[in-house]
Amino acid sequence: MIRRRRIIATVLVSTGLLALGAYARTAIQNKGSDTLVNVAQAWAEAYAKKAPEVAIAVSGGGSGTGIAAMINGTVDIANSSRRMKKSEIDLATEHGQDPVEHIVGYDALAVFLHPDNPASTLSLKQLSSIYARGQEFGNWSDLGVEVPGCKDNTIIVVSRQNNSGTYAYFQEAVLGKGGKYRQGTLDMHGSKDVVDLVEKTPCAIGYSGLAYATDHVKMACISSEDGKACVSPSVATASNRTYPIARPLFMYTNGAPKGDVKDYLDWILSDEGQCIILNKGYAPAHDVTCE
């Protein structure tokens, strides 16, 4: 009898301790960009070892998802691969939020081609002629190339769904202010889908974060102007800003970060945090030396 009581008491006490422990852990909700999700996950895992009392819940869904969650006040940190639009900031203010921007790294947007495609250098102007409305290059021969295995030489233009951060950045950087995408692009739902499709389609051209590159696709060397020397996408060229389509990666907090969120962001921007993003194939926000 006494023994049984002792067991019950032990169970009760340990449950209480566990509950107390769970209570003491603070949770940071981190959501958004699919481009950043792998890095965010790696940060969260490394930080869990450093500060076990803070639990960080990371989920993806796209920059729009993170920003929407920030506007609706359901996350502590929103990841985004594009800047918040003015309309979104206004909407957030209306909902009583105050999004504050932090640049946590840079990402080179690679332009992918099928390995059989003889084209290897593209200028921003040519890219714009392929992607923009009105000045369409519909055919690979417009660029002076003949793509084997591609009937009619038609360019199959692969893009992203219209609320992806990659889509928005590419529009801004390649099509210019007020430039619009042409009609009839294949809008893939995710960076990986773009690479998969280009891999299987000789006629295709697509764009995505450098980290999604595989051995089965070719990355075009991009020149900022016709005739200028081109730069290949890499972590190094994104870090020194020579690659023309490298974009900042953002984390948004509601108001200036405080407490655990501030500690976490400070750690992300520390050399230790920045080495993690570097290892994942992105350029760090500032120069770091990692072993």
Partner 1 sequence: MSPDVSTTELSSGRTGVTADDFDRRNLDWYVDKAVEVLVFICGISAIIFIIGIFTFITKEGYAFILQMDWVEVFTTQYWFPSDEGDPEFGILALIAGTASVTGLAMAVAIPFSLGGAIFVAEFASGKTREVLKVLVELLAAIPSVVWGFIGLSIMNPLIIKTFDVPVGLNVLNAGIILGLMAAPIMTSIAEDALKAVPDRYREAAEAMGATRWQIIVRVVLPAAKNGLLGAVLLGVGRGFGETMAVLMATGHSVNIPGSLFDSVRALTATIAAELGETAVGSEHYQALFAIGIFLFLITFIINLSADLIVRGVREG
Straight-line distance from the first to the last Cα atom of the chain, in angstroms, rounded to the nearest whole number: 61
Kindly state the tokens that stand for 241.
């800003």
Residue 205 bridge partners (DSSP): 113, 157
Place of tokens 């890499």: 234
Please pick, from the candidates 14, 135, 162, 214, the single residue that binds partner 1 as defined by CB under 8 A: 162
How far is the C-alpha of 270 from the C-alpha of 262, rounded, in Å?
Answer: 12
Q: Which of 162, 157, 30, 158 is nearest to 85 (CA)?
A: 162
Q: Minimal distance in Å, beta carbon 214 to partner 1?
A: 17
Chain residues 211-250 in contact with partner 1, contact rule CB under 8 A: none
Q: What angle do CA 108, 212, 271 make, to 5 degrees?
A: 60
- The yes or no reply on residue 67 touching partner 1 (CB under 8 A) is yes
Please pick, from the candidates 75, 124, 150, 277, the single residue that binds partner 1 as defined by CB under 8 A: 150
Please pick, from the candidates 128, 139, 185, 224, the single residue that binds partner 1 as defined by CB under 8 A: 185
Residue 206 bridge partners (DSSP): 112
Of 89 and 231, CB closest to partner 1: 89
- The yes or no reply on residue 6 touching partner 1 (CB under 8 A) is no
Kindly state the tokens that stand for 172.
């801004």
Task: Provide CB contacts within 8 A for 112, sequence distance 6+.
Answer: 194, 195, 198, 204, 205, 206, 207, 208, 213, 217, 218, 219, 220
Of 187 and 272, CB closest to partner 1: 187
Stretch that binds partner 1, among 14-22, 51-59, 62-70, 277-285 (CB under 8 A): 62-70
Please pick, from the candidates 99, 105, 202, 284, the single residue that binds partner 1 as defined by CB under 8 A: 202
- The yes or no reply on residue 184 touching partner 1 (CB under 8 A) is yes
Stretch that binds partner 1, among 7-15, 197-205, 223-231, 258-266 (CB under 8 A): 197-205
- The yes or no reply on residue 189 touching partner 1 (CB under 8 A) is yes
DSSP 154: B
82 neighbors 62 (Cβ within 8 angstroms):
no
Of 196 and 260, CB closest to partner 1: 196
Please pick, from the candidates 117, 164, 208, 237, the single residue that binds partner 1 as defined by CB under 8 A: 164
Single-letter residue type at 195? V
Q: Note the residues at the interface with partner 1 (CB under 8 A).
A: 61-65, 67-68, 71-72, 85-88, 91, 150-152, 154, 156, 161-164, 167-168, 178, 180-181, 183-189, 197, 200-204
